[in-house]
């Protein structure tokens, strides 16, 4: 999903920062080179210090994609017994919770995000008993299980929908969104039936599906087999809450709530404004997201479900929303809605106006300011997530790196250093811990199984052919191909390479193909090899998670302060993380503990990038030393035997090098 609002710019960041009531109190400021100043003293003691700290704040949550993790029975599809057999591996990474992507019984159109029975497990993954066993076995390693809960829509195979579609008078008719079509004269003078409004499905085409039996249309914002539930119906809401409690009663620690900001649609279902005058259907993001009653419904869910299970966690997926004020409404603790949400704001940076397979050129300052925006704006009285990959994204090493094999490990480690030094709850997506890259370009798009990829691709092909008056094979799709190689969801869904051995790199013993193409690079990227290599990406991640756990006051709860001289298009991104006032701070190389740290990241493949260390935020000249680095010492520190370097001296960073400094 990539129809992201970009209501944000670097310029705006600066002005937000100046007027932000939570900004640090001024006692020292540095010019950012653009005529504005960042204040960079410590923030006042925030509610983060309040006694409401929760286990999930310091937790690292591992998103596990069941189809592609481990296949125990050789059918080419991952399954729950496969996961159970690999729990020691999960524990060894140092994670605290697994978010298991959709695994309920499903009609399999959108990889489980079309649920046909919330109380059952899809038979390709196992049974409810297997899930119970998984919860228990993970528990032995102190790992919680978070399930995916997909309740904006069900599958058209769900018993609720079957009843609903059976007649206009069925008691469950109102559980879905049904409307009569509009009959109008078409341009050729014929009377024709049209959908109730002009909304476009996120998976392309009209968002309405005609159902002959009752001569009405149902709304489906995703595939036609994914009818949207009608949350305005109280009976339906109660039914959903019961399904959620079913799993909490079995011991799941909480839910990741799929597209939860879509559950309330405006009652009159108005047409969306025309954004593409060549199309009969129009993007309806602003109407279907963050609708009129969404907060009322989530608050109700909180009271009826999560509040009854102390310590449970709720994580919302919020799409098409880059506005901080909107996001705050979901996560400010007093509003009693969700514990945290994740947005796609950062992932819109490289998406063009016509969706994810179109390009938007972007510059480094946008990436830096996007990260900074959320770090600053959700710091006070809110909680946030940190993530660079999920089952809906491309792989971060490919998307944010230079795509070369030479730099791949460096990029993976630098991104690990970035995410593990940000404020919030850290998410890792399966395979990210070994620096998996996107599928290699020789695998044709026709072999990508994702319904979104296929529909988006076919729709682009069709509309390009139509507007150019040529046949589909004549259409030039090279630009779209490039974007699909970066952003298709299929990249994240490739099975995990446990070894380099044929036929399927230890993922499966299937004699035929795996359900989704394996990547062709398991000889250079697999778990077994990385287990043995002390300098592997995997072992780097392990270390990062240990450090994060050891110094939560600085790395999880501490303040984030960008070094303003790096908020530009230059390679270095530098920021401070500092324990809040009141926390005892360690000083000096010999001392252990939470301390102010300066993170320096070279976001580019340029070698030998020079950077003048800033004087400390207190305005003091300090002597820095290296606490952690993705690749040995930096030039500048290397030359000094003591490993110390003074502020205002220069250090040199290698391509994609990351360093954490302290004093
Ligand atoms: C969410 C899921 C995605 C799915 C969509 C529809 O974005 O993460 O995989 O296709 O919702 O349920
Ligand atoms: Ca299997």
Residue 33 confidence (pLDDT): 28
Residue 14 confidence (pLDDT): 31
Which ligand lies nearest to the CA atom of residue 504 in the structure? Answer: 2
Eight-state DSSP code of residue 316: E
Q: What is the mean pLDDT of residues 26-51?
A: 36
Q: Which atom of ligand 1 is nearest to the CA of 110?
A: 10
Out of 1, 321, 429, give the residue to mutate to test ligand 1, the one with the largest number of ligand atoms within 8 Å of its CB.
1
Over 70: is that where the pLDDT of 454 sits? yes
Q: What is the mean pLDDT of residues 60-83?
A: 98
pTM for this structure? 0.93
Over 80: is that where the pLDDT of 24 sits? no
- CA angle 161/166/171 to nearest 5° reads 75
Residue 35 confidence (pLDDT): 27
Residue 130 confidence (pLDDT): 98
Over 50: is that where the pLDDT of 21 sits? no
Span from the CA of 508 to the centroid of ligand 2 (angstroms): 8
Give yes or no for a contact between 236 and 229, defined as CB atoms under 8 angstroms apart: yes
* Closest CA to ligand 1's atom 4: 113
Span from the CA of 280 to the centroid of ligand 2 (angstroms): 42
Out of 3, 101, 113, 385, give the residue to mutate to test ligand 1, the one with the largest number of ligand atoms within 8 Å of its CB.
113
Q: What is the mean pLDDT of residues 366-391?
A: 97
Question: Does 409 contact ligand 1 (Cβ within 6 A)?
Answer: no
Instruction: Give the pLDDT confidence of 94-147 residue by residue, as tens digits.
Output: 999 999 999 999 999 999 999 999 999 999 999 999 999 999 999 999 999 999
17-34 burial: b if 16+ Cβ within 10 Å, else e: beeeeebbeeebebebee
Residue 638 confidence (pLDDT): 85
Instruction: Give the pLDDT confidence of 523-556 residue by residue, as tens digits.
Output: 999 999 999 999 999 999 999 999 999 999 999 9
* Closest CA to ligand 1's atom 9: 392
Question: Does 347 contact ligand 1 (Cβ within 6 A)?
Answer: no
Q: Which atom of ligand 1 is nearest to the CA of 152?
A: 12
Question: Does 429 contact ligand 1 (Cβ within 6 A)?
Answer: no
Q: Which atom of ligand 1 is nearest to the CA of 451?
A: 10
Q: What percent of the chain has pLDDT over 70?
A: 92
Q: Of how many residues is the chain composed?
A: 663
Over 70: is that where the pLDDT of 22 sits? no
Q: What is the mean pLDDT of residues 40-49?
A: 42
113-148 burial: b if 16+ Cβ within 10 Å, else e: bbbbbbeebbebbbeeebbebbbeebeeeebbbbbb
Residue 203 confidence (pLDDT): 96
Question: Does 1 contact ligand 1 (Cβ within 6 A)?
Answer: yes
Span from the CA of 66 to the centroid of ligand 2 (angstroms): 9
**Two tokens, residue 397:** 């090493």
Over 70: is that where the pLDDT of 11 sits? no
Over 90: is that where the pLDDT of 42 sits? no
pLDDT bucket at 19, cuts 50 / 70 / 90: very low
Over 80: is that where the pLDDT of 26 sits? no
Span from the CA of 452 to the centroid of ligand 1 (angstroms): 9
265: Cβ–Cβ under 8 A, 6 or more apart, which residues?
177, 219, 228, 287, 288, 291
Out of 258, 317, 341, 394, give the residue to mutate to test ligand 1, the one with the largest number of ligand atoms within 8 Å of its CB.
258
Residue 15 confidence (pLDDT): 32
- Sheet arrangement for strand 623-629: 559-562, 572-578, 597-602, 658-662, 623-629, 644-646
Residue 636 confidence (pLDDT): 86
Instruction: Give the pLDDT confidence of 229-242 residue by residue, as tens digits.
Output: 999 999 999 999 99
Residue 639 confidence (pLDDT): 81
Q: Which atom of ligand 1 is nearest to the CA of 452?
A: 10
Eight-state DSSP code of residue 608: S
Q: List phi, psi (to 5°) of 420.
A: -80, 0
Out of 4, 110, 155, give the residue to mutate to test ligand 1, the one with the largest number of ligand atoms within 8 Å of its CB.
110
Over 80: is that where the pLDDT of 25 sits? no
Question: Does 392 contact ligand 1 (Cβ within 6 A)?
Answer: yes
Out of 116, 259, 492, give the residue to mutate to test ligand 1, the one with the largest number of ligand atoms within 8 Å of its CB.
259
Eight-state DSSP code of residue 176: B
* Closest CA to ligand 1's atom 6: 113
pLDDT bucket at 605, cuts 50 / 70 / 90: very high
Question: Does 113 contact ligand 1 (Cβ within 6 A)?
Answer: yes
Span from the CA of 487 to the centroid of ligand 1 (angstroms): 15
Instruction: Give the pLDDT confidence of 431-453 residue by residue, as tens digits.
Output: 999 999 999 999 999 999 999 99
Residue 12 confidence (pLDDT): 33
Question: Does 259 contact ligand 1 (Cβ within 6 A)?
Answer: yes
Span from the CA of 451 to the centroid of ligand 1 (angstroms): 11
Q: What percent of the chain has pLDDT over 90?
A: 86
* Closest CA to ligand 1's atom 5: 113
Instruction: Give the pLDDT confidence of 165-211 residue by residue, as tens digits.
Output: 999 999 999 999 999 999 999 888 999 999 999 999 999 999 999 99
Give yes or no for a contact between 73 and 42, defined as CB atoms under 8 angstroms apart: no
Q: Which atom of ligand 1 is nearest to the CA of 222?
A: 6
Say how far apart CA 382 and CA 555 lie, in whole Å.
Answer: 16
Q: What is the mean pLDDT of residues 84-88?
A: 98
Question: Does 320 contact ligand 1 (Cβ within 6 A)?
Answer: no
Span from the CA of 498 to the centroid of ligand 2 (angstroms): 15
Instruction: Give the pLDDT confidence of 343-361 residue by residue, as tens digits.
Output: 999 999 999 988 899 999 9
Over 80: is that where the pLDDT of 43 sits? no
* Closest CA to ligand 1's atom 7: 259
Give yes or no for a contact between 623 and 617, defined as CB atoms under 8 angstroms apart: no
Span from the CA of 396 to the centroid of ligand 1 (angstroms): 19
Question: Does 114 contact ligand 1 (Cβ within 6 A)?
Answer: no
Which ligand lies nearest to the CA atom of residue 227 in the structure? Answer: 1
Beta bridge partners of 147: 100, 255
Which ligand lies nearest to the CA atom of residue 259 in the structure? Answer: 1
pLDDT bucket at 617, cuts 50 / 70 / 90: confident
Distance of CA 102 to the CA centre of its chain: 15
Question: Does 150 contact ligand 1 (Cβ within 6 A)?
Answer: yes
Q: What is the mean pLDDT of residues 237-259?
A: 98
Give yes or no for a contact between 115 and 158, defined as CB atoms under 8 angstroms apart: yes
Mean pLDDT (the chain, rounded): 92
Span from the CA of 228 to the centroid of ligand 1 (angstroms): 13
Question: Does 148 contact ligand 1 (Cβ within 6 A)?
Answer: no
Span from the CA of 495 to the centroid of ligand 1 (angstroms): 19
pLDDT bucket at 32, cuts 50 / 70 / 90: very low
Span from the CA of 125 to the centroid of ligand 2 (angstroms): 7
Over 50: is that where the pLDDT of 620 sits? yes
Residue 640 confidence (pLDDT): 82
Question: Does 258 contact ligand 1 (Cβ within 6 A)?
Answer: yes
Catalytic residues: 258, 317
Residue 410 confidence (pLDDT): 98
């Amino acid at each position: 999903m990539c129809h992201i609002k970009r209501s944000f710019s670097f310029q705006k960041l600066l002005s937000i920062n100046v007027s932000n009531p939570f900004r640090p109190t001024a006692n020292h400021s540095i010019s950012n080179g653009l005529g504005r100043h960042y204040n960079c003293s410590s923030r006042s003691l925030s509610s983060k210090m309040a006694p409401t700290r929760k286990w999930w704040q310091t937790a690292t949550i591992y998103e596990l994609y069941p189809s592609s993790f481990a296949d125990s029975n050789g059918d080419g599809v991952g399954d729950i017994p496969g996961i159970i057999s690999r729990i020691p591996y999960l524990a060894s990474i140092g994670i605290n919770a697994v978010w298991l992507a959709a695994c309920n019984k499903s009609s399999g159109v959108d990889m489980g995000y079309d649920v046909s029975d919330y109380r059952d497990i899809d038979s390709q993954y196992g049974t409810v008993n297997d899930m119970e066993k998984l919860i228990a076995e993970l528990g032995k390693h102190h790992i919680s299980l978070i399930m995916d809960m997909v309740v904006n829509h069900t599958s058209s195979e769900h018993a609720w929908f079957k009843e609903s579609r059976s007649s206009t008078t069925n008691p469950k008719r109102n559980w879905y969104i049904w409307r009569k079509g509009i009959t109008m004269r078409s341009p050729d003078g014929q009377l024709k039936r049209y959908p109730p409004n002009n909304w476009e499905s996120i998976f392309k085409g009209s968002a309405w599906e005609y159902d002959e039996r009752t001569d009405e249309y149902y709304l489906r914002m995703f595939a036609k087999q994914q009818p949207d539930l009608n949350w305005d119906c109280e009976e339906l809401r109660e039914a959903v809450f019961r399904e959620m409690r079913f799993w909490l009663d079995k011991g799941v620690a909480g839910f990741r709530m799929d597209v939860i900001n879509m559950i309330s649609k405006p009652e009159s279902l108005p047409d969306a404004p025309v954004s593409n005058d060549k199309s009969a259907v129009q993007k309806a993001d602003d109407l279907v997201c963050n609708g009129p009653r969404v907060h009322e419904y989530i608050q109700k869910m909180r009271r009826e479900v999560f509040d009854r299970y102390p310590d449970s966690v709720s994580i919302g997926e919020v799409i098409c929303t880059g506005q901080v004020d909107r996001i705050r409404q979901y996560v400010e603790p007093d509003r009693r809605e969700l514990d945290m949400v994740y947005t796609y704001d950062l992932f819109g940076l490289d998406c063009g106006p016509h969706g994810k397979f179109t390009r938007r050129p972007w510059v480094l300052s946008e990436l830096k300011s996007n990260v900074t925006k959320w770090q600053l704006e959700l710091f006070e009285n809110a909680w946030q997530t940190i993530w660079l990959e999920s089952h809906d994204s491309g792989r971060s090493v490919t998307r944010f790196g230079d795509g070369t094999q030479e730099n791949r490990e460096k990029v993976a480690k630098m991104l690990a250093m970035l995410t593990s030094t940000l404020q919030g709850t850290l998410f890792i997506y399966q395979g990210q811990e070994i620096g998996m890259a996107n599928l290699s370009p020789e695998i044709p798009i026709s072999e990508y199984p994702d319904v979104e990829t296929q529909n988006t691709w076919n729709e682009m092909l069709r509309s390009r052919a139509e507007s150019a008056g040529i046949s589909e094979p004549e259409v030039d799709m090279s630009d779209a191909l490039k974007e699909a190689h970066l952003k298709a969801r299929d990249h994240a869904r490739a099975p995990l390479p446990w070894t380099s051995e044929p036929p399927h790199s230890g993922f499966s013993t299937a004699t035929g193909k795996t359900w989704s193409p394996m990547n062709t690079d398991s000889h250079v990227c697999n778990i077994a090899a990385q287990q043995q290599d002390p300098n592997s990406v995997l072992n780097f991640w392990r270390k990062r998670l240990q450090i994060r756990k050891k110094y939560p006051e600085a790395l999880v709860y501490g303040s984030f302060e960008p070094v303003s001289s790096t908020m530009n298009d230059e390679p270095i991104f530098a920021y401070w993380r500092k324990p809040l006032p009141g926390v005892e701070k360690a000083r000096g190389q010999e001392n252990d503990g939470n301390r102010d740290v300066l993170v320096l990241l070279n976001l580019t493949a340029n070698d030998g990038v020079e950077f003048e260390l800033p004087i400390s935020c207190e305005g003091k000249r300090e002597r820095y030393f290296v606490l952690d680095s993705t690749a040995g010492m930096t030039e500048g520190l290397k030359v000094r035997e003591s490993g110390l370097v003074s502020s205002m001296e220069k250090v040199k960073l290698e391509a994609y090098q990351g360093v954490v400094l302290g004093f």
